[in-house]
Chains A and B, each alone.
Chain A
Amino acid sequence: MSPLIRPLLFAALLAVTAAAPAYTLEEFKFDSPAQEQEFRALIAKLRCLVCQNESLAGSQAELAQDLRNEVYRMLRAGQSEDEILDFLVARYGDFVLYDPPLKPSTYVLWFGPFVIIGVAAFFMVRSVLRRKPTGDDAMSDAERERLRTLLDTDADIRAGEPSPPTPKQSI
């Protein structure tokens, strides 16, 4: 590639990128910073249904822009946060909320992990309590003797040699 073409290509790429429409939150104007705060907090709680792991605050999907406009319109019309959330849930379902509400159909979701931990803890505690000392782990005299020899030898070696350098902690 000639040295001239590269900057030209780069410029062309920039032009194309600049031409792509991007939604920003700047276009929404508010009466007060508090209202803007409320708007931003609200759209962060709502899911974009097209790109499902993005919130309305971050999504570039057209539908997300439509819903942002709707939330903006309702907020400006003086509707409360709950009214706006209820409006969207009534049309798009609970899925539009990032935080699933607590109700019978989501009990498994909310309480399931605690139930599983509880059951696991029950079995663990039971198996620990049931474990009786068998006497097998007591050492015989011969074993005791051997252990002492081993420990002594180890201590001798360490005493006679400089301690090994501590390995550098890798980052």
Chain B
Amino acid sequence: MAMSKSVRYLTPLIVFAGLVVLLVWGLGQDPREVPSPLIGKPVPTFSLPALEDPDRTVSDADLKGKISLVNVWASWCNSCRAEHQALMVLSEIPDFQIVGLNWKDEATDALRVLQLTGNPYDLNGYDPDNTVGIHWGVYGAPETFVVDQEGIIRYKHIGPIDREVWEQKLQPLVAELRARS
């Protein structure tokens, strides 16, 4: 009897504690990180002029046969500047190519950034009007997609890449994709 009574009185407290845990967990979530429905799907077909040379095109065909990091960036984007150094370091690694999607930008501004701070990209598609970005579900810069050798999108990272993101998320995935081939 005493037992059931204490259970009865403690129940609201336990339920309340559960709610507190749930809400604290919710506070730690970033609402800006909207999960992409494109994970596990082939990259959208696209064709864009290359940033450096408008006569060249960058298309989904360029994303097949090797692992790619597709990085959405712009010269006006501060977080992109923050992750630029990390991309420079990653561009030294031969396991994958880095493909830029220069998004809602001016070519002259974008080229100046690459000239001044170095160019980590193997290819750069120029998408000033967000015609391709929409198909990739891009809603901000920077965003980075990991695309496997078959051209399937494996992961999307929202926000700048730093050492932690690389070591904990991207590097293990790239290693896994490499081991598969």
Contact = CB atoms under 8 A, between A and B. Distances in A.
Interface of A: 49-50, 52, 62-63, 66-67, 70, 89-95
A156 to B, nearest CB: 45
Contacts of B65: none
Nearest to B136: A91
Contacts of A63: 130, 139-140
B140 A92 contact: no
Given A70-B134, A91-B135, A52 B104 contact: no
B147 to A, nearest CB: 16
A50 B32 CA distance: 8
Contacts of B137: 91-93
Interface residues of B, number: 18
Contacts of A92: 34, 37, 137, 139
6 contacts: A49-B34, A91-B135, A92-B34, A92-B137, A92-B139, A93-B35
B36 interface: yes
Nearest to A48: B139
A93 B36 CA distance: 6
Interface of B: 31-32, 34-38, 44, 104, 129-130, 133-137, 139-140
A65 to B, nearest CB: 9
A93 B140 contact: no
The 10 closest A-B pairs by CB, nearest first: A49-B139, A91-B137, A93-B37, A66-B130, A95-B34, A92-B137, A63-B139, A70-B134, A93-B34, A50-B139
A62 B138 CA distance: 12
Contacts of B44: 91
Nearest to B41: A90
A89 B31 contact: no
A128 B28 CA distance: 40
Given A52-B31, A66-B134, A70-B134, A91 B140 contact: no
A68 B128 CA distance: 16
A160 B44 CA distance: 88
A93 B137 CA distance: 8
Task: Name the residue in B31, B36, B133, B137 with the highest tally of chain A Cβ atoms < 10 Å from its Cβ.
Answer: B137
B104 A90 contact: no
A53 B137 CA distance: 18
B37 A89 contact: yes
Nearest to A53: B31
A89 B36 CA distance: 10
Task: Name the residue in B34, B133, B137, B139 with the highest tally of chain A Cβ atoms < 10 Å from its Cβ.
Answer: B139
Contacts of B133: 66
Nearest to A65: B130
